[in-house]
């Protein structure tokens, strides 16, 4: 399985170089790129048969985008992000040496509309809230309870430990896992991907 | 196909670690050394950075769930629950939190019980006689409701009483040296130390000095009356219905301000949250603000203060400091 990380193979390996990073990259990334995750995932899922890999693929897409942005922030962000996703997919398909021409062809016809005005702000906010809620609900019980007690009730670790009747390190574990899963579920909502052939 | 993956992919590994870092920062203590360690981890690979930004973003966004949940609990029999569609599991998570958040323990054999709510939690108690008491945040109530008599003491905090009238057994609430006797009634009692406020919403009630520290004389209230008892004595003022409604908004999980100073507003928020608002600067403290916030909306509030007045907001430990 070619499932070793290929995040490092393109571009210069800049491990702990002095931060030659364009200022504002992180903010830009959070503002412009991360919100595209759901759409990118959909795009990748259609182009790649093994849906288990899609999250990893998406992560790699993010890494490529981030690396590029450290040199220069691309404008506009959205077409750039999809171009990266597409190139990565093509690259993968080639490397896996599988016949997936229809996958690539399909991508051409996907017609990612790049500069649509988009729904208004409140609609986005509402949708986001709905997705947050849905993500929270999909968490396993202990994780969800921990997240709720921390995020919504603002309880401390000892307080949560007491209520759950577990040791404090366990609370930490629940929270760390809950936070990660929340991010996963947030951008990977099964109800959004129903009709992906 | 991919059953040869007992170890995590590098992407999943980075994401899991990002969660661990955030957890560490979330619970603290978070020192400069911790930050330096995190910075090093982030700088080690863009994969780490990207994973971290991603988990952090959703965690930050999840802040909004707080406000939502307050509203949700209000709208439980909601006629329209469209954008905030109520999710039963979440409600269950809440019931869990609430159930564990409330201590109600028997003190002695005479049926006397203590009820308390931690900061940020509300709770409704229904007594055997059908009377209801809603406890606001950070409140302690001692109550003894039996066939022979009905009494409660507000040890601290705030409570809204809806009493089933029973002329033979008046419901008596004591607090800060005063006694409130219901004459068929809904009323609000709030106690901050020795400062006591009794507001009558409906029906009729009487306030009597009952302790050595109490002043003034027996006062019968009609709806809208607010009695303020301080060490200066009793003072009765009339409250209009809208003002009253605003003061009762906590029952819906809301704080409603109308020309409140930032200092007053901060003091209100601080009753409901462990994350405290700190306004040390007098110029900032005097500015006035209006608006509706969830009781947990400390950060939204700080954002508003920043947006409207151009004040600076910084976090200091768990606190939020607003300065010019």
Structure tokens belonging to residue A163: 């209520």
Contact between residue B145 and residue B129 where contact means Cβ atoms under 8 Å apart: yes
| Alpha-carbon span B76 to B40, nearest angstrom | 47
Residue B52: pLDDT band (50, 70, 90) is: very high
Strand partners for B229: B196, B234
**Closest residue in chain B to residue A69, using alpha carbons only:** B46
Residue A120: pLDDT band (50, 70, 90) is: low
pLDDT over 90 at B18, yes or no: yes
So what's the pLDDT on residue A123? 64
- Count other Cβ atoms within 10 Å, centred on residue B123: 21
Please report residues of A whose CB lies closer than 8 A to that of B100: 163
| Alpha-carbon span B127 to B145, nearest angstrom | 7
Print burial letters for A49-85: b (CB count within 10 Å at least 16), e (below 16): eeeebbbbbbbbbbbbbbbbbbeebbeebbebbbebb
Residue A114: pLDDT band (50, 70, 90) is: very low
> Which of B4, B12, B23 would best serve as a mutation to test chain A binding (most A beta carbons within 10 A)?
B23
The burial class, CB within 10 Å (0-12 / 13-18 / 19+), for B296 is: buried
Q: What is the mean pLDDT of chain B?
A: 79
| Higher-scoring residue by pLDDT: B246, A68 | A68
Structure tokens belonging to residue A195: 């009709």
So what's the pLDDT on residue A22? 66
A59 closest CB neighbour out of B11, B19, B93 = B11
Structure tokens belonging to residue B250: 């906590």
Residue A52: pLDDT band (50, 70, 90) is: confident
B19 closest CB neighbour out of A70, A153, A180 = A180
Q: A–B: how many Cβ contacts below 8 A?
A: 165
Cα–Cα distance list, A10 to A16, A34, A65, A88, B15 (Å)? 16, 21, 12, 11, 21
Query: Could you write out the three-class secondary structure of B140-206?
Result: EEEEEECCCCEEEEEEEEEEEEECCCCCCCCEEEEECCEEEEEEEEEEEEEEECCEEEEEEEEEEEE
Decide if A148 and B93 are in contact by the 8 Å CB cutoff: yes
- Count other Cβ atoms within 10 Å, centred on residue A189: 15
> Which of B46, B47, B53 would best serve as a mutation to test chain A binding (most A beta carbons within 10 A)?
B46
| Higher-scoring residue by pLDDT: A129, A88 | A88
Residue A197: pLDDT band (50, 70, 90) is: very low
| Higher-scoring residue by pLDDT: B191, A123 | B191
Query: What's the average model confidence in pLDDT over A178-183?
Result: 93
| Alpha-carbon span B237 to B109, nearest angstrom | 41
Contact between residue B23 and residue A179 where contact means Cβ atoms under 8 Å apart: yes
| B37 to chain A, closest Cα gap in Å | 13
Q: What are phi and psi of B216, to 5 degrees?
A: 80, -175
Tell which residue, B66, B65, B70, has the closest CA to residue B254: B70
Chain A residues 4-63 with a CB less than 8 Å from chain B: 5, 7, 15-16, 19, 26, 29-30, 34, 37, 50, 52-53, 55-56, 59-60, 62-63
Tell which residue, B243, B265, B245, B253, has the closest CA to residue B295: B253
B114-166 pLDDT, tens digit each: 888 888 888 888 888 888 999 999 898 989 888 878 899 998 899 999 988 88
| Alpha-carbon span B298 to A152, nearest angstrom | 12
So what's the pLDDT on residue B318? 85
| A161 to chain B, closest Cα gap in Å | 12
A14-50 pLDDT, tens digit each: 333 334 566 789 989 999 999 899 889 888 887 777 7
| Alpha-carbon span B42 to B46, nearest angstrom | 7
The answer to pTM > 0.80 is: no
So what's the pLDDT on residue B218? 82
So what's the pLDDT on residue B256? 82
B65-100 pLDDT, tens digit each: 765 554 444 443 333 333 333 344 344 433 333 333
Tell which residue, B65, B126, B143, has the closest CA to residue B97: B65
A151 closest CB neighbour out of B16, B65, B273 = B65
| Higher-scoring residue by pLDDT: B125, A122 | B125
Helices A37-47 + A168-187 axis angle, to 10:
70
So what's the pLDDT on residue A138? 87
A129-160 pLDDT, tens digit each: 778 888 888 889 899 889 988 887 778 899 99
């Amino acid at each position: 399985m070619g499932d070793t990380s290929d995040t490092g193979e393109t571009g210069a390996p800049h491990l702990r170089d002095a931060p030659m990073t364009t200022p504002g990259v992180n903010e830009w990334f959070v503002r412009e790129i991360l919100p595209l995750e759901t759409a990118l995932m959909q795009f990748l899922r259609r182009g790649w048969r093994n849906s288990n890999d899609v999250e990893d693929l998406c992560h790699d897409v993010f890494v490529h985008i981030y690396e590029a942005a450290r040199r220069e922030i691309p404008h506009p962000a959205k077409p750039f992000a999809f171009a990266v996703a597409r190139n990565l997919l093509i690259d993968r398909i080639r490397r896996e040496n599988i016949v997936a021409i229809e996958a690539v062809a399909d991508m051409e016809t996907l017609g990612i509309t790049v500069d649509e005005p988009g729904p208004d702000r409140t609609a986005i906010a509402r949708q986001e809230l709905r997705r947050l809620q849905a993500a929270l609900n999909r968490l396993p019980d202990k994780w969800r309870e921990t997240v709720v007690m921390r995020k919504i009730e603002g309880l401390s670790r000892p307080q949560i430990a007491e209520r759950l009747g577990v040791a404090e390190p366990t609370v930490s574990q629940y929270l760390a896992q809950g936070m990660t899963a929340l991010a996963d579920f947030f951008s990977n909502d099964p109800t959004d991907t129903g009709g992906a052939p | 196909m991919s059953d040869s993956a007992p170890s995590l992919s590098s992407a999943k590994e980075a994401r899991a670690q990002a969660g661990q870092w955030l957890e560490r920062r979330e619970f603290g203590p978070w020192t400069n050394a911790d930050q330096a360690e995190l910075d090093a981890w982030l700088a080690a690979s863009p994969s780490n950075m990207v994973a971290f930004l991603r988990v952090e973003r959703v965690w930050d966004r999840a802040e909004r769930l707080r406000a939502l949940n307050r509203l949700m609990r209000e709208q439980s029999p909601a006629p329209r629950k469209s954008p905030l569609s109520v999710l039963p599991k979440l409600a269950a998570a809440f019931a869990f939190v609430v159930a564990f958040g409330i201590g109600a323990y028997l003190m002695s054999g005479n049926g006397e019980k203590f009820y308390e709510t931690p900061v940020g939690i509300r709770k409704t108690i229904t007594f055997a006689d059908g009377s209801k008491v809603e406890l606001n945040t950070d409140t302690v109530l001692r109550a003894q409701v039996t066939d022979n008599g009905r009494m409660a003491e507000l040890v601290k905090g705030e409570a809204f009483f809806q009493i089933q009238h029973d002329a033979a057994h008046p419901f008596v609430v004591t607090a800060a040296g005063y006694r409130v006797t219901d004459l068929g009634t809904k009323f609000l009692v709030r106690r901050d130390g020795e400062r006591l406020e009794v507001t009558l919403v409906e029906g009729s009630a009487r306030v009597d000095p009952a302790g050595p520290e109490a002043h003034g004389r027996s006062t019968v209230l009609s709806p809208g009356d607010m009695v303020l008892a301080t060490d200066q004595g009793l003072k009765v003022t009339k409250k209009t219905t809208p003002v009253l409604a605003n003061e009762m908004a906590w029952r819906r999980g809301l704080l409603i301000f109308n020309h409140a100073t930032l200092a007053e507003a901060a003091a209100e928020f601080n009753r409901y949250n462990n994350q405290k608002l700190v306004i040390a600067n007098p110029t900032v403290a005097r500015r006035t603000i209006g608006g509706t916030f969830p009781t947990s909306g400390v950060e939204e509030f700080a954002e508003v203060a920043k947006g409207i007045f151009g004040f600076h907001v910084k976090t200091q430990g768990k606190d939020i400091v607003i300065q010019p």
